[in-house]
Structure 1
Amino acid sequence: MPFAPTPGWLNWERDRAHPAVELPTGSVDAHCHVFGPGDVFPYAPTRKYTPCDASKQDLFRLHEDLGIARRVMVQATCHGTDNAALLDVLAADPAASRGVVSVSSDITDEELARMHEQGVRGVRFNFVKRLVDHSPVAELMLISEKIRAFGWHIVIYFEAADLPDLESFLADLPVPLVVDHMGRPDVSESSTGAEFSRFISFVDKTSAWVKVSCPERLSHSGPFARKGNTDIYDDVVPFARRVISEFPDHVLWGTDWPHPNLKSHMPDDAVLLNYLAQITDSDAQLRRVLVDNPTALYWA
């Protein structure tokens, strides 16, 4: 069936520049999505938005263009708990693909075992209030107990203002945590201020992994990633650099392609790689973020 994107939806950039940043061999995109195509993998009736299609072929082409060798697929809320589109990517390139799914608490051990064989290594929970109808605390506790035997982790997406209400519960979960997009800090504040320092303390306490991703989603000031720019998203850079400095072995990065729900602009993914050059100090540090750390978490 046809699906019309949400009015005003920004489509992903097809006319990409040539990357100015060369990624190390074996680089991993640790946070990316596929959307549909809707006529093959329908969007969930309960979705909060309808995206444009972004297929596995489009994703594979992006990764080839950018020099990315492997990927971690993350289930997007527009597909609900139907992980078919994500699993289709894993089946198409199993050695180079891993998955983070969305599931309900009634999932069986047999279903989890099948997903594990297909390359799934985690479950994502969304606490961003504009994207979900309720806080999934009770469900998360049930599922975390089920996935513990498989060595999976929980990926959590929340906004900085909500951390005080969540941190005690999250710290008690019996599985590792991965935090999307640095917990969405308010980058108009200081990276050494009270709010982000609380996040840093939470990461230290829980030994969580952190994705230093989505500067285009966090930035207030820009400049936004457009062709010709080399210095981008300066207001986000100090936050990412602090995370990398304090937790060098627990940092991940991902494109967030195809950049759902952006309102102000759509980045060129090739230009967006310049952000990596701004938040790392050396080739060795870049390799740790893009190769060593995601390999340890997803391919060990």
Structure 2
Amino acid sequence: MSAHTPGAPPKPCPGPDRHPKRPAFVMPRGACDTHVHVFGPQAEFPFSEQRSYTPEDCTYDDLMQLHETLGIDRAVIVHGGAHGTDNSATLAALDLNPKRLRGVAVIPSGLPQQELEDMHLRGMRGCRMSTVVSGGASFAHLRGLADETFDFGWHLVLHFNRASELVDVAPQLMQVRSPFVLDHLARISAAEGVDSEPFRTLLRLLDTDRCWIKLASLYRLSAEPYPHRDMLPMIARVVEARPDRILWGSNWPHPICPVAMPNDGDLVNLIPLWLPDPKAQQLALVDNPASLYGFESIG
């Protein structure tokens, strides 16, 4: 996967499997899907002219219907790259369900404080930088965003095109004060694995106590068909090292998917394979997201 070629038309992006299976794995109460996107409706929220892909409309209503099928109570909407740095579509979804939803913004550094305050009040809890999609914020914004959002308690989210980029940006992550999330296991493929420099870097970053690992979109990183068992050694290592810093996400609606489109029910059924210990499941699905994103405790 690579960033958009300047001058090339944005490629159409297949939509998700619209018929999710009801999973056999039963989510615990308060479970959170920490990585979803909403797109459109395009008639109301136009896509960015700088986008690198054109998704189907995948709306708040679609998300709620999906999570009802999957048994998921909470979600974090990560602002989708197709909308660029205009966060209106994500904010509008957050406004519809403030107790159940939180968001991660895509913004440049240098925004007015009042704009950040408004986003925070509406449920934004982090900001994402990417080397994968165009029209958003690059890692050049890392230090500025870390400083500008620190007092709000926001975290940084890093979305890598290649795992080697983690090695390059690690010195900055060691220096900033903010918590940070490594999206999609920092894009470390099964072929690279536990002995690779990116994975060793990831383990060092976990020692900072500010690093969180998101287990999402791992179907992209596997060289094997479902259930992608070649990813298990890396998953086991990070869960063993810091079960209190693991997050789970579906990555619905799976934009720019380079492999066969997964069924979200199948993805939920991977959870007990990745996290066989019920305590680790409770942490990754309920307690860790509640801590990082500021959800209210379950009454």
**Alignment TM-score, normalising by the size of structure 1:** 0.90
| 2:135 is the counterpart of 1:140 | no
2:100 counterpart residue number = 96
- What residue number does 1:213 align with? 216
Partner of 1:228: none
Distance 1:197 1:266 in 2: 30
Which residue identity does 1:213 align to in structure 2?
A
Q: 1:101-116, aligned counterparts within 5 Å?
A: 101-116=105-120
User: Structure 1 residue 23 and structure 2 residue 27: aligned?
Assistant: yes
- Which of 40, 45, 62 aligns to 1:58? It is 62
CA 1:38–1:106: 2 relative to 1, 3 Å = same
Tell me, in whole angstroms, the C-alpha distance in 2 between the residues paired with 1:200 and 1:277.
23
CA contact (8 A) 2:125 2:293 kept: yes
Greater CA deviation, 206-215 or 117-126? 206-215
Q: Distance in 2 between matches of 1:264 and 1:175?
A: 34
Query: Corresponding residue for 2:253?
Result: 258
List, as ranges, runs of 4+ consecutive aligned residues in structure 1 with deviation greater than 3 Å.
132-135, 192-195
TM-score (norm 2): 0.90
157-166 vs 194-203, which deviates more? 194-203
Q: 1:30–1:22: structure 2 CA closer, same or farther, 3 Å change rule? A: same
Q: Distance in 2 between matches of 1:196 and 1:266?
A: 26
CA distance in 2, matches of 1:222, 1:179: 24
Question: In the alignment, is residue 290 of structure 1 matched against residue 294 of structure 2?
Answer: no
CA deviations over 1:80-112 (Å, ceiling 9, x no partner): 111111011111100111110011223111111
Contact 1:5–1:51 (CA under 8 A) maintained in structure 2:
no
Does the C-alpha gap of structure 1 residues 259 and 137 become closer, same or farther in structure 2, counting only changes over 3 Å?
A: closer
Q: Shift of the alpha carbon at 1:55?
A: 0.7
Shift of 1:202: 2.4
Give the aligned residue type for 2:243. P
Q: Note the C-alpha offset of 1:280.
A: 0.9
- Measure the CA separation in 2 of the matches of 1:47 and 1:132: 6
Amino acid at match of 2:205: F
Q: Distance in 2 between matches of 1:163 and 1:284?
A: 29
Q: What is the Cα deviation at residue 134 of structure 1?
A: 9.4
The answer (yes or no) to whether the contact 1:233–1:275 under 8 Å persists in 2 is no
The Cα RMSD (Å) is: 1.9
After superposition, give the CA deviation of every residue in 1:4-53 in whole Å (9 maximum; x if it has no partner).
Answer: 9834x322011222211111111001111001111111100100111111
Match for residue 40 of structure 2? 36
Within-5 A mapping of 1:175-186: 175-186=178-189
Mean CA deviation greater in 235-244 or 269-278: 235-244
- Equivalent residue in structure 2 for 1:222, among 222, 225, 231: 225
Which of the residues 238, 245, 256 maps onto 1:243?
A: 238
Gaps of 5+ in 1: 224-231
Paired residue total = 286
CA distance in 1, matches of 2:177, 2:93: 29
Indicate conservation of the 8 Å contact 1:10/1:265, yes or no.
no
SS at match of 1:106: coil
The amino acid that maps onto 2:152 is F
Alignment-derived partner of residue 6 in structure 2: none
Give the 3 Å change call, closer, same or farther, for CA 193–171 of structure 1 in structure 2.
same
Q: Structure 2: state its 5+ residue gaps.
A: 1-8
Equivalent position of 1:229 in the other structure: none
AA aligned to 1:209 is W
Please list, as runs of the form range in 1=range in 2, the aligned pairs for 1:112-123 lying within 5 A after superposition.
112-123=116-127
Deviation of residue 120 (structure 1)?
A: 0.8
Secondary structure of 1:155's aligned partner: strand
Question: Which of 64, 70, 91 does residue 87 from structure 1 map onto?
Answer: 91
> How far apart, CA to CA, are the structure 2 residues paired with 1:116 and 1:259?
26
For residue 169 of structure 1, what is the amino acid of its counterpart?
Answer: Q
The answer (yes or no) to whether the contact 1:43–1:78 under 8 Å persists in 2 is yes
* Cα drift, residue 256 of structure 1: 0.6
Deviations 1:129-148 (A, max 9, x none): xx237983442222221111
